[in-house]
Every structure is written in structure tokens, then in C-alpha cells.
Amino acid sequence: MGSRASSLLREEDIEEIKKETGFSHSQITRLYSRFHSLDKGENGALSREDFQRIPELAINPLGDRIINAFFPEGEDQANFRGFMRTLAHFRPVEDNEKNKDLTSGEPLNSRTNKLLFAFRLYDLDRDDKISRDELLQVLRMMVGVNISDEQLGSIADRTIQEADTNGDMCISFSEFIKVLEKVDVEQKMSIRFLH
Amino acid sequence: MEGAWEIAFVLFQVWLSIVVGLIVLPAMFGVSLGFTDIYIKVLVKTLEWATLRIQRGQKEQPTLPSQSANGIIEKDDGSMEEEIGELRRSHPKNLAGGDFTMCDAFYFCKKGIENIVEDQVTQRFTSEELASWNLLTRTNNNFRYISVRLTIIWGLGVFIRYCILLPLRITLAVIGLSWLVIGTTLVGLLPSSNAKNWLSDLVHITCYRICARGLSATIRYHNKENRPKKGGICVANHTSPIDIVILANDGCYAMVGQVHGGLMGVIQRSMVRSCPHVWFERSEMKDRHAVAKRLKDHIADKTKLPILIFPEGTCINNTSVMMFKKGSFEIGGTIYPVAIKYDPQFGDAFWNSAKNNMVSYLLRMMTSWAIVCNMWYLPPMTRQDGEDAVQFANRVKSAIAHQGGLVDLSWDGGLKREKVKESFKEEQQKMYSSMIVVNMNESLN
């Protein structure tokens, strides 16, 4: 942190990020400070190791999946735009009332996009379907060694059974939305950013 | 040419005698001529003015980012059970608490993202952010040009700090350290006696007092009646090497540490001639039993000075107290906890060893405004029955954190350099598993 950090972020960049994500000017500069302090290599982008250095994230059972969400397909570096775009999913929905100057199209923090973020946590190979195998792998991450393969298998089977409506033994995004339609996604997948 | 050299030499002598007469000698006798007090008062007034000026400037130019030292986000601190329970309540499936739902992942996801934006640990290893700028370039986060007057004051500050205070402070530091080396070597020549101990204490204290003046240190001591006694262990939170100067200004301690080479080594060797300190070779430090034994022997001898230990094991940025390593709490004896809190407005005392080496750190210290801190001596503590070393360490840590107004963390200061242990993740996984399996047996029937 230091004057160097904020001087690397130009006003035009801030304006573009504001339009794309809906964050306010001061939120963007503060998140840039945070981005800069995580960037130990000082090369303007974060690697997976930079994220792993946060102890509370490293002990999170789904830590690796969350970190993965910041990296576009096949890439190893997350730049600040990408960082903000991913964080924008977690802006509270009410904040949209204040920022009417977003570009057309669905804002990043809509209910659907929040659910899509969660869906991608499960969808390991990014083929828009959660297979039994993928569900098992993610379950295994969450429970560690504490539950046997058989028990975990039956949990996975039951979950797919309840969600799967078209009989393909996988959960598609629309099936995912249907199962969770009563869950308060807006509140549970939002973070209160201070202004 | 010769005339110029003579004049320079005379000026130097005058300079030196002023310094010695007005600063070194009063310091050694513990007398204050009041210069530092006046300086601090003027400084406080100037900084207050600067803060008001910046706030006014921010109101006039709304695009300037405001400097608030609050966090970036507001977190809920619900437990895993509470949060996942809430998530499941809105799920259509009629669960009697237990079993898995796809929305469980939301809890981990939200926690993870919160920690990416703001976490409790990594912020402790960099300097604390100030609520308002204190006219030092190094703490300048989002400063934009506000007014001519502010910039002039800042420029004046740079001149005063680098051209007046810095040479003065370096002179004092050199005098102080030379006096330490020479004085302790001389005292070391004496045979063991009460006189020797008294002289040794005198040399140490006077040296540290000179060094404290060399940093324009203003220290307020609280509860002096709890000062550590011989045969005890003094334990304090660690922010920088300057902690030693602060502590030793008001008492004599036996230092504990690794043997160094170079200048540090010279100081260490001469110090140990006049009174026993505990210096370990690198190889000895690995053997925990040998370390414990030497410390035990030291405190068993009631004529030796109390040991000074920093159980965090590394420098933390003075906003929190991190895990105390249990080693010092296993050797027995009475623990005298001390809480040290620096006022960051006058100078940031934290040593970020990743960013600065010792020399550049000391230069930063000597070009700050001043070092202002509060030191509290807490009542002595001993291990109670049924309490193990870890619990005792945590109890002492809480007392220090509470007194100093610091956040009490269980995280290990070693996370500055090392990875977190896998066992913490396993704990999380276990906790979550118990939420799925609780009614597993029932539903399988």
C-alpha cells in the first residue's frame, strides 16, 4: 500500500470498472489497495499462490474452487479487471437502485448470476452440467475423510434424484435454479461492502 | 584551506558538546529538559491542523477518496451451524437438520470471498493504515494535492526530519552504542560483586536512555508497581526491535536471542561480559529441551535479572496480539506480562522485515516524527493447577491484548512466512461432516 498503488490505477480504468461492476469510486480504490497487497510478485496480476497465502481461505474446504473462479479458462493470472468482475457477483442486489448507470444486460450481481457462480463451483469441467462424479468430488472436498465412500455416494445419488427432471442423471443449470428457488440467494451470496 | 578545516572542526566540537551537554548527560541521569515535550505539543497541533485542512479539502473535491480506516466490508460472525442452518431452512426439502443440500456451498463460498476481500491475518504483517495523514510521505496512501500551505508544511517537515533530526539522532545512537560497548567491557573487568552489578545496570540503563532520546521517544509507563522482579520472566507483545529500548529504559533485563555476527555480535559479546544474558547459537535453538534448560537455570538463580521474551516470535504490526508460543510458559517461574502500544500518528514502529532490512528500518525510525508509546505493566501471573502451557499462554495473551486495546488472535505469527497447517482445514471439514451425518443413520433406516 502506498501512493504507488493508487497511482497505477487510472481514472479511465476506474470509470470502466464502475460501469461494468457497479462498485463506487472509493470501493474500487480500496479494493485495488487490497489487490495490490495480495500481489506479492508486484506484476499487476494475482496467481493462485497469492490467494493461498490468505490463511482463512487456505483452510476453507472449498478454497481451491473459489480461487479457481477468479481465473478464466486455462489462465494462471488474474488481473484487476477480472478480480473486480468476480467480486461484483457478491454485491448486494439493493445497491443496484443507486447505480442506474450500468450498461444494459443483466448486472453481474443478479440472482441468476449469483446462482451461476455457485453452479460453477460444482461444475468442475465447465461443461454446464453437474455430473455424479463432479458432485462426489466437491462433496469429498467439503467433508474430508470423515464420511465413507458409500455414504457419500448415496448422498450424491439422492441429491441428483431430487434435482434431475429430465432424467440425464446430471444437474443442469435450470434444474439447479429450480431446486434452489426458495433459498434467499440475494442475501446469502452477498457481501456488505462499506462505502 | 586549512582555515576552513579548522572552522569545521571547531563547529563540530561545539555541536558535539551541545549534544552531549543538553541531551546525553540529562538522559543518563533520567532528567528531561523538556525539549521533547514541547516538540510533541507542537507536532500534535500541526497534525490536527493538517487533518482539518485535509477534511475541508475532501469536502470541496468530492472525487477525492476519503480516508477511512474502517474495513472494506461488514461481516456477520455466525457460526457454520447457524449459517448453514439458515440456508437450509428456506430449502423446500423437509429436513430434520442433517443431510446435504446444494446450497450448503453458499456458506463456504461467501466466507471465502469475504476473506479474499479482507482477512484477519495478512493485514497484521503490514503497517497499520492511518485514519488521517500524518505528513510523512511513507504513509501517503491516497493523498492528492489539497493546498499550498499543506504542501509547504510537508516540505518543512521533510527538511526538519532529514536535515536536523536525522543527524542529531544518528549522533545520539552512535554515542549510545559506543558507550554500551565500552562501558560493559570496562565493567566486565571487575570481579563479581554487588558493585559490579550496580555499575552494569547503570551502564545498560544510561545507554538505553540515550538511544531513546535518539528516537525522540516519549514513553508513558503505567502500573510501575508491577515491574518484573529478578528470577521472573517478562513477556511482551512484539512490534519491532525498538521494544527492547522501550522496555529497558525503565528496568534491567537479561536478553534472550540468537548469536549474530557483525555489529550485533560485538554488542552481544560485550553486554554479556558485565551481566549474564542468554545468547543461543543457531544450532542450539533447534533443541527445545536445551533451550528450556538454560532458561530454567537462569531464572532459578535469583541474583540474575529477569528474562525478556517475545512469545509471538516475530514482529506484528501493533494492531493485534498473535499466538504466544508455549515454550516460555513451560519453564515455570512467574510471568510478568507487559503491553506496549505505539501511537502510529507520530511514526510507524512496525518492522516489516520482508520490506526493510535492519538498517533501512532504523533510518525510517530516525526520520519519523517521534516514537510515542504507552507501556503497561500487568500484575504477575503463574500457571494454575489444571492449566496446561497453551491455556496459560492464551490467558496471558488475552490480558495483554485487553490492556493494550489490541485484537486477540489465535493465529500464529509464523504465518508471515509459512503456510497454514492442514489440520485447521480438517477441523472445518469435520465440523461440516457432523452437520450432514447427524441424521444419516435415521434416514437410512
Strands B233-236 and B407-408: unpaired
Match 428457488 to its residue by C-alpha cell. Answer: A181
Chain A residues with CB-CB distance to B109 below 8 A: 62, 66, 117-118, 121, 189
Chain A residues with CB-CB distance to B114 below 8 A: 191
Q: ipTM score of the complex?
A: 0.92
CATH homologous superfamily of A12-89 = EF-hand (1.10.238.10)
CB-nearest to A56 from B86, B120, B429 is B120
pLDDT at B402: 95
Q: What is the mean pLDDT of residues A73-100?
A: 83
Distance between CA atoms of B238 and B313, rounded to whole angstroms?
8
Which H or E run contains B117? helix B104-117
Q: Which residue of B has its CA nearest to A159?
A: B101
Q: How many CB pairs under 8 A join A and B?
A: 186
Chain B residues with CB-CB distance to A190 below 8 A: 110
Q: For A11-39, what is each residue's pLDDT tens digit? A: 888 999 999 998 988 899 889 989 998 99
**A96 versus B20: which is more confidently predicted?**
B20
Q: Tell me how close the Cα of A104 comes to any Cα of chain B, in angstroms.
A: 25
- Angstrom distances, CA of residue B108 to CA of A62, B32, B115, B142, B197: 6, 57, 11, 33, 60
Task: Report CB contact under 8 Å: A61, B108.
Answer: yes
Residue B338 C-alpha cell reads as 507487559
Distance between CA atoms of A54 and A49, rounded to whole angstroms?
9
pLDDT at B69: 54
Q: Cβ neighbours of residue B225 under 8 Å, at least 6 residues apart? A: B377
Question: Is B398 in a helix, a strand, or coil?
Answer: helix
DSSP B66: P
- Boundaries of domain holding B219: 146-411
Give 10-residue mean pLDDT values along chain B (445 residues): 83 82 78 79 85 78 57 79 79 60 91 92 85 73 68 86 88 87 88 85 89 87 91 92 91 87 84 86 82 88 89 91 90 92 88 84 88 93 91 94 93 89 92 76 45
Position B238 in a domain: yes
CB-nearest to B433 from A146, A188, A193 is A146
CATH homologous superfamily of A106-194 = EF-hand (1.10.238.10)
A102 pLDDT higher than 80 = no
Is A7 an interface residue toward B (CB < 8 Å)? Answer: no
Q: Do the Cβ atoms of A6 and A33 come closer than 8 Å?
A: yes
CB-nearest to B90 from A59, A63, A183 is A183
Position B328 in a domain: yes
Chain A 64-93, CB below 8 Å of chain B: which residues?
Answer: 66, 87, 90
Task: Report CB contact under 8 Å: B109, A63.
Answer: no
Q: Tell me how close the Cα of B88 comes to any Cα of chain A, in angstroms.
A: 8
Q: Tell me how close the Cα of A182 comes to any Cα of chain B, in angstroms.
A: 6
Position B248 in a domain: yes
Distance between CA atoms of A50 and B130, rounded to whole angstroms?
25
pLDDT at B133: 75
Show me where the domains of chain A are located.
Answer: 12-89, 106-194
Q: How many domains does chain B divide into?
A: 1
Disruptive mutation site among A14, A18, A38, A54 for chain B (greatest number of B CBs within 10 Å):
A54
DSSP state string for B300-329: HSTTSPPEEE-TT-S---SSEE-PPPTHHH
Q: Do the Cβ atoms of B302 and B230 come closer than 8 Å?
A: yes
pLDDT at A122: 93
Distance between CA atoms of A86 and A75, rounded to whole angstroms?
15
Chain A 93-132, CB below 8 Å of chain B: which residues?
Answer: 117-118, 121-122
Position B445 in a domain: no
Task: Report CB contact under 8 Å: B72, A122.
Answer: no
Q: What is the mean pLDDT of residues A57-76?
A: 92
Task: Report CB contact under 8 Å: A25, B72.
Answer: no
Chain A residues with CB-CB distance to B68 below 8 A: 194
Burial class (CB in 10 A: 0-12, 13-18, 19+), A136: middle
Q: Which residue of B has its CA nearest to A64?
A: B112
Task: Report CB contact under 8 Å: B73, A142.
Answer: no
CB-nearest to A2 from B75, B141, B440 is B141
Residue B95 C-alpha cell reads as 429436513
Query: A78 falls in which pLDDT band (50, 70, 90)?
Result: very high
Chain A residues with CB-CB distance to B111 below 8 A: 56, 60
pTM here?
A: 0.84
Chain B residues with CB-CB distance to A151 below 8 A: 437, 440
